[in-house]
């Protein structure tokens, strides 16, 4: 197993913060009780879950009672949409966007087969939504509008509060998949029109397999996982205490570090992006570079294919990802880039670098050093590379 890496794939998952790991250990060793037990040994753990809940609430500007722990971002997304639909059985219309994560898109496609009508809002070349289209798509039977806060592939941030105002003025529920936004940009739910919000632990330096669904107080929603009384009946199943406490700690750290994300991480990202654009011809950035997460850059290298780039980067221990068909697990390039109208050729040759506060300048130097040779090598093999020069 490789353990030394230049890890710039933080939108896929993040390293667990050392403090977060420390926080977990007691619950994986001596404190193995069940928080629902009457005895002190188990029961005392309930207060630890409440502490974690409060820490997450603090990060989001929410009330602790509005935080429900789940098993991942995908579960939170499913619970939000299915929970709202089942408490509004007469409303059969859903609005979302074409660039959502599969956790939303595939769920919506599944619902279409079960009698629901789904509107998928389009995006323009920069990845932005057209709010007029949203206005026109709202219907009296629109049960829920689900829009991601920031896109996992491009980092493009949607104007969530403007969207929320439109949705609320028409009486629908508003769900936001904020899996990529939480911890990277400030979010204050106390002054927000968001009814439901999903986040995932492993995107903010907590472990995989824990998430949160924020449910605004007073929201009518049916539970998605039915069973015991845990999470006040809103999400059954004995709590994953170690991971919940880890997420609490990660939320506390994110709260503390949010300024760094927007300064230090942003500077590294900008230097990387600028350096690559300057040193490599036929290269451009995908998506709006202003309304964008501070850690993400998605760059297309024309005439070559993304998986080949990743394989060569991998030789240097550099971990990134691509929107190319070969890496997306399907045979077509990223649905996000295609929805934006990025030419197929450039979509196949796209690479996403996503940084975190655990990266440093020497790593950026290394990427800038090896990329030009990688790109030239592949372009020398490609039949499409222009012959000029």
Partner 1 sequence: MWNYTDKVLDHFHNPRNYGEIENADAVGEVGSMACGDALRLTLKIDKNTQTILDAKFQTFGCGSAIASSSAMTEMIKGMNLDEANKITNAEISKFLGGLPPEKMHCSVMGKEALEAAIANYRGITIEKDEEEGRLVCRCFGVTEDKIQKLALENNLHNVEDITNYTKAGGGCGACLQDIQDILDAVWHNKKEKAPAAEAPKPEAAKKLTMVQKVKLIEETLEKVIRPSLNQDGGDIELIDIDKNKIYVKLLGMCSHCPSSSFTIKSFVETKLKEFVSPDIEVLEEQAND
Ligand X SMILES: Cc1ncc(COP(=O)(O)O)c(C=O)c1O
Beta partners for residue 353, in sequence order: 297
**Closest separation in Å from C-beta 384 to partner 1:** 6
DSSP label of 263: I
**Closest separation in Å from C-beta 192 to partner 1:** 37
At a CB cut-off of 8 Å and minimum separation 6, what does 106 contact?
none
Identify which of residues 265 and 374 has a Cβ nearer to partner 1 in the complex.
374
d(CA 141, CA 129) in angstroms, rounded, equals 22
Neighbours of 256 (CB within 10 A): 10
Name the residue whose CB lies closest to ligand X.
73
Residue 66 site contact among ligand X, partner 1, none (CB < 5 to 8 Å, cut-off depends on kind):
none
d(CA 193, CA 219) in angstroms, rounded, equals 12
Q: Which of 53, 91, 101, 348 binds ligand X (CB under 6 A)?
A: 101
Nearest residue to 56 via CA among 164, 206, 157: 206
**Closest separation in Å from C-beta 207 to ligand X:** 10
C-alpha torsion sign, points 243, 244, 245, 248 = positive
231 binds ligand X (CB under 6 A): no
d(CA 12, CA 42) in angstroms, rounded, equals 35
DSSP label of 128: -
**Closest separation in Å from C-beta 326 to ligand X:** 19
155 binds ligand X (CB under 6 A): no
177 binds ligand X (CB under 6 A): yes
Give whole-number Cα distances, 239 to 68, 139, 251, in Å.
11, 38, 18
d(CA 293, CA 186) in angstroms, rounded, equals 11
What residues numbered 253-312 form the site for partner 1, per CB under 8 A?
303-305, 307-308, 311-312
What residues numbered 323-362 form the site for partner 1, per CB under 8 A?
324-327, 330-333, 344-345, 348
Q: How many residues bind ligand X (CB under 6 A)?
A: 14
Q: Which of 10, 74, 154, 322 binds ligand X (CB under 6 A)?
A: 74
**Closest separation in Å from C-beta 74 to ligand X:** 3
Residue 28 site contact among partner 1, ligand X, none (CB < 5 to 8 Å, cut-off depends on kind):
none
Q: Which of 97, 146, 152, 328 binds ligand X (CB under 6 A)?
A: 152
Is residue 69 within 8 Å of residue 231, measured between CB atoms? yes
d(CA 91, CA 87) in angstroms, rounded, equals 9
Identify which of residues 102 and 233 has a Cβ nearer to partner 1 in the complex.
102
Identify which of residues 223 and 333 has a Cβ nearer to partner 1 in the complex.
333
Strands (E), the chain: 6-7, 67-70, 93-97, 117-121, 142-148, 173-177, 196-200, 211-215, 283-285, 296-301, 318-319, 321-322, 350-354
Nearest residue to 357 via CA among 279, 239, 232, 267: 267
**Closest separation in Å from C-beta 124 to partner 1:** 21
Residue with the two structure tokens 């750290």: 253
211 binds ligand X (CB under 6 A): yes
Q: Which of 17, 24, 68, 73 binds ligand X (CB under 6 A)?
A: 73
Q: Which of 97, 119, 180, 230 binds ligand X (CB under 6 A)?
A: 180
Give whole-number Cα distances, 161 to 125, 189, 296, in Å.
22, 10, 22
Give whole-number Cα distances, 179 to 132, 148, 175, 310, 328, in Å.
26, 8, 12, 24, 19
Catalytic site residue 245? no
- Helix 241-260 to helix 18-28 angle (10° resolution) is 170
148 binds ligand X (CB under 6 A): yes
Per annotation, catalytic residue among 72, 245, 319, 326: 326
**Closest separation in Å from C-beta 71 to ligand X:** 8
At a CB cut-off of 8 Å and minimum separation 6, what does 58 contact?
251, 252, 255
323 binds ligand X (CB under 6 A): no
Identify which of residues 17 and 72 has a Cβ nearer to ligand X in the complex.
72
What residues numbered 282-321 form the site for ligand X, per CB under 6 A?
none
109 binds partner 1 (CB under 8 A): no
**Closest separation in Å from C-beta 202 to ligand X:** 6
Q: Which of 89, 115, 140, 383 binds partner 1 (CB under 8 A)?
A: 383
Residue 70 site contact among partner 1, ligand X, none (CB < 5 to 8 Å, cut-off depends on kind):
none
Which residues contact ligand X (rule: CB under 6 A)? 72-74, 77, 101, 103, 148, 152, 177, 179-180, 200, 202, 211
Q: Any idea which residues carry the catalytic annotation? A: 326
């Amino acid at each position: 197993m490789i353990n030394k890496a230049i890890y710039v794939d933080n939108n896929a998952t993040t390293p667990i913060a050392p403090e977060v790991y420390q926080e977990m250990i007691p619950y994986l060793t001596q404190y193995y009780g069940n928080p629902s037990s009457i005895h002190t040994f188990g029961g005392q753990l309930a207060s630890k879950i409440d502490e974690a809940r409060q820490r997450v609430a603090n990060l989001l500007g929410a009330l602790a009672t509005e935080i429900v722990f789940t098993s991942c971002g995908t579960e939170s997304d499913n619970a939000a949409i299915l929970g709202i639909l089942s408490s509004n059985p007469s409303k059969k219309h859903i609005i979302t966007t074409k660039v959502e994560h599969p956790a939303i898109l595939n769920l919506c496609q599944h619902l279409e087969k079960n009698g629901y009508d789904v509107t998928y809002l389009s995006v323009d070349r920069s990845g932005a939504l057209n709010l007029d289209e949203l206005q026109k798509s709202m219907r009296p039977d629109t049960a829920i509008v689900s829009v991601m806060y920031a896109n996992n592939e491009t980092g493009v941030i949607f104007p969530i509060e403007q969207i929320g105002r439109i949705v609320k003025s028409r009486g629908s529920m508003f769900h936001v998949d904020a899996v990529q936004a939480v911890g990277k940009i400030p979010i204050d739910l106390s002054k927000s029109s968001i009814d439901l919000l999903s986040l995932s632990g492993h995107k903010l330096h907590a472990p995989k397999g824990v998430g949160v669904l924020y449910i605004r107080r007073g929201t009518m929603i049916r539970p998605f996982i039915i069973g015991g009384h845990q999470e006040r009946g809103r999400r059954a199943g004995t709590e994953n205490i170690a991971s919940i406490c880890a997420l609490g700690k990660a939320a506390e750290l994110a709260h503390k570090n949010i300024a760094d994300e927007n300064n230090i991480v942003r500077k590294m990202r900008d230097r990387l992006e600028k350096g690559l654009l300057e040193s490599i011809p036929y290269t451009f950035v995908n998506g709006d570079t202003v309304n964008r997460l501070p850690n993400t850059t998605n760059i297309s290298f024309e005439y070559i294919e993304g998986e080949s780039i990743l394989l060569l980067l991998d030789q240097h221990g550099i971990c990134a990802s691509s929107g190319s068909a070969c890496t997306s697990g399907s045979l077509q390039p990223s649905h996000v880039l295609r929805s934006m109208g990025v030419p197929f050729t450039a979509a196949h040759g796209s690479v996403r670098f996503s940084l975190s506060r655990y990266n440093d300048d020497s790593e950026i130097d290394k990427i800038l050093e090896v990329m030009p040779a990688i790109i030239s090598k592949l372009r020398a093999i490609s039949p499409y590379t222009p012959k000029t020069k």
